Chain A
């Protein structure tokens, strides 16, 4: 099936070359980080995780969001999602590839990475995160591939793909729950120490994932002859709507608890994000943009007329996706680490080189996504044509 990936239009190849260039730039920037250490980043003693882990956290969510097409189709026989389940699964694969790459580029000693396997440590949440992430990646690759292959040969997928699909559902919830547990189990980090973190992660994931999927559907319609179906996209947009409202609601709960109880160890972080602390307010415009983007997005999706507007929908989805990215990637890291455990306020901003490395990872993810989507759409075109 892979041969499909090497037959494409000029535009296709141009895009591939562009992605390769981005990946190349990232690789060069990373080579320097590999040799000289994480000194090239904007991280510090106080803010010891940065842009890499931020993006990792967000992308785990997008990957988990793929399950929002799997559940309706496989559990509720929602036929309209038949054509796009594969898109959800392949999106998850590409996101997980990025997640793993972000973890690797974040390590101080990447060569020793396998120590996590050599000395399995069940009391560390990172150990479990590694298991569920790789498990979910494996499940999605196998299921996506087998189902697509069957479709190409116009036969029923082998029987064992079904149980794997069912297994992938708790794994999807699992990857994001465990990723939230990385944060919310730490005493002394008031911003993360909240039981609602995992639900909030899931809510924003189920908004960001399907929102991105809708955008991808538009792109697919533009560049291929495969039509994912407007009704499917409509249903997806309703899922995004409910999920983003849940996310905003959870955030509001968080804000209430923090401000009404007034416990300084919890309050100071929220204060830093929303209003700035001791004159440090780098995150303030970002956080408010995130809230506005997500809030407006929710309103646009709530009103049927706006939701059904084909020109507006991709814009709405982009707003929600970007808002969720700020909220979960930037906000989660900055809010968690500022102020520091000693209540020093040291802000964090990524360096240019850090940004290039991150871009390289995104390039790699989009590369994987492009290849997989090319396979999927071509097979679907073949079968229908």
Chain B
């Protein structure tokens, strides 16, 4: 109920930028003297829709270069801080050194036995050991993070994307304890000094809130493919899991795929072709 009413509020307010699929047309400059002062909302015809968004990662098509490109494309455009850079000494004087382990990453590579700890196998094919497995938020069908969040700052949209409201999050980090995939990040500090070039199309975050991959909801709303898909040279496909005609379903039909920690019942929406 709560989620519903908030959704419709967002719709009315026309915050299409975060992917509600409706672009506001606020023609203030041209407002006629007798015209209505109400902002108009209008459907963006380009918006990509799905009943349930999912992702297929073809690991054999990945190599180190592509992986780096993917990570960079995602992190740069989402203003994810890079703690390896030196912050601008003038603008951000007195920035403290960064502690180990407090980093932020939305998508990154892991060895097979870390990405799939329950599928560890001492006789696993050699090539598996060196392949980079990209991991990110799985946009679970039954997301424990959503269940745990006491403020609904983490919520699941009707199309399956698990999103964050950075302005509502209280930073209790219950969702981080709940996520079985280590997909969530906490802003232990103000991230802004560590963003080399701020992308104006996406909000920066403040200290004390949690963040993670949003499946590029802001791009899907504009009819564009996620950054990782574009940078992946065909290794990543994002599409509608519920649509039998979709490319992603074809891939699932043609290949043997695995998901992370399937036995937990969270129903990850990210599939791996190995």
Interface residues of A (CB under 8 A from B): 36-39, 41-49, 103, 106-110, 112-113, 115-116, 118-121, 123-127, 130, 182-183, 186-189, 264-265, 336-337, 340-344, 346
Residues of A within 8 A of B120 (CB): 264
Question: With contacts A124-B149, A126-B150 known, is A44 near B99, CB below 8 A?
Answer: yes
Residues of A within 8 A of B264 (CB): 187-188
Asked if B144 contacts A121 (CB within 8 A), the reply is no
Asked if A115 contacts B208 (CB within 8 A), the reply is no
B187 at interface (Cβ–Cβ under 8 A)? yes
CA distance A43 to B176 in the complex (A): 12
Asked if A107 contacts B114 (CB within 8 A), the reply is no
Question: With contacts A187-B266, A341-B181, A342-B115 known, is A116 near B170, CB below 8 A?
Answer: yes
Q: How many residues of B contact A (CB 8 A)?
A: 55
B168 at interface (Cβ–Cβ under 8 A)? yes
Closest to B261 in A: A188
Closest to B151 in A: A115
- The residue from A44, A103, A107, A121 contacting B101, defined by CB atoms under 8 A apart: A44
Residue in A49, A126, A188 whose Cβ sees the most chain B Cβ within 10 Å: A188
Residues of B within 8 A of A119 (CB): 2, 151-152, 168
Shortest Cβ distance from A207 into chain B, in angstroms?
26
Asked if B115 contacts A186 (CB within 8 A), the reply is no
Asked if A106 contacts B172 (CB within 8 A), the reply is yes
Specify the main secondary structure of chain A where it touches its partner.
Answer: loop
Closest to B104 in A: A45
Shortest Cβ distance from B151 into chain A, in angstroms?
4
Residues of B within 8 A of A130 (CB): 150
A-B contacts, 5 of them at CB < 8 A, read A42-B99, A44-B100, A44-B102, A187-B264, A342-B115
CA distance A189 to B261 in the complex (A): 12
Question: With contacts A108-B207, A121-B2, A343-B113 known, is A36 near B189, CB below 8 A?
Answer: yes
Asked if B180 contacts A189 (CB within 8 A), the reply is yes
CA distance A195 to B143 in the complex (A): 21
Residues of B within 8 A of A123 (CB): 147
Residues of B within 8 A of A125 (CB): 148
Asked if B188 contacts A38 (CB within 8 A), the reply is yes
B169 at interface (Cβ–Cβ under 8 A)? yes
Question: With contacts A45-B103, A115-B168, A116-B170 known, is A121 near B151, CB below 8 A?
Answer: yes
Asked if B182 contacts A116 (CB within 8 A), the reply is no
Specify the main secondary structure of chain B where it touches its partner.
Answer: loop
Residues of B within 8 A of A107 (CB): 170-172, 208
- The residue from A37, A182, A340 contacting B187, defined by CB atoms under 8 A apart: A37
Question: With contacts A113-B170, A187-B265 known, is A46 near B207, CB below 8 A?
Answer: no
Asked if B144 contacts A188 (CB within 8 A), the reply is yes
CA distance A344 to B111 in the complex (A): 11
Shortest Cβ distance from B168 into chain A, in angstroms?
6
Question: With contacts A45-B186, A119-B2, A121-B152 known, is A39 near B99, CB below 8 A?
Answer: yes
Asked if A342 contacts B117 (CB within 8 A), the reply is yes
Shortest Cβ distance from B8 into chain A, in angstroms?
15
CA distance A46 to B99 in the complex (A): 13
B96 at interface (Cβ–Cβ under 8 A)? yes
CA distance A215 to B102 in the complex (A): 40
B216 at interface (Cβ–Cβ under 8 A)? no
Asked if B186 contacts A116 (CB within 8 A), the reply is no
B185 at interface (Cβ–Cβ under 8 A)? yes
CA distance A119 to B1 in the complex (A): 11
CA distance A106 to B188 in the complex (A): 11
Residues of B within 8 A of A41 (CB): 188
Closest to B135 in A: A342
CA distance A187 to B231 in the complex (A): 33
Shortest Cβ distance from A351 into chain B, in angstroms?
9
Residues of A within 8 A of B96 (CB): 36, 39
CA distance A38 to B96 in the complex (A): 12
CA distance A302 to B88 in the complex (A): 65
Residues of B within 8 A of A109 (CB): 169-171, 206, 208-209
Residues of A within 8 A of B101 (CB): 44-47, 346
Residues of A within 8 A of B113 (CB): 343
Shortest Cβ distance from A155 into chain B, in angstroms?
43
CA distance A108 to B190 in the complex (A): 11
Asked if B177 contacts A189 (CB within 8 A), the reply is yes
CA distance A126 to B100 in the complex (A): 29
Shortest Cβ distance from B267 into chain A, in angstroms?
11
Residues of A within 8 A of B169 (CB): 108-109, 112
Closest to B145 in A: A186
B179 at interface (Cβ–Cβ under 8 A)? yes
Closest to A340 in B: B182
B173 at interface (Cβ–Cβ under 8 A)? yes
Closest to B97 in A: A39
Shortest Cβ distance from A40 into chain B, in angstroms?
8
18 further A-B contacts with Cβ under 8 Å, apart from A47-B101, A112-B168, are A36-B190, A37-B190, A39-B99, A39-B207, A43-B186, A48-B173, A108-B209, A109-B171, A109-B208, A109-B209, A112-B151, A115-B153, A115-B170, A119-B2, A121-B151, A124-B147, A188-B181, A342-B182
B247 at interface (Cβ–Cβ under 8 A)? no
Closest to B111 in A: A342
Asked if A121 contacts B100 (CB within 8 A), the reply is no
Residues of A within 8 A of B266 (CB): 187-188
CB under 8 Å from chain A, chain B span 218-232: none
Asked if B170 contacts A108 (CB within 8 A), the reply is yes
The 4 tightest CB contacts between A and B, nearest first, are A108-B171, A188-B180, A108-B208, A44-B101
Shortest Cβ distance from B160 into chain A, in angstroms?
18
Residue in B120, B169, B182 whose Cβ sees the most chain A Cβ within 10 Å: B182
Residues of A within 8 A of B182 (CB): 45-46, 340-342
Asked if B188 contacts A116 (CB within 8 A), the reply is no
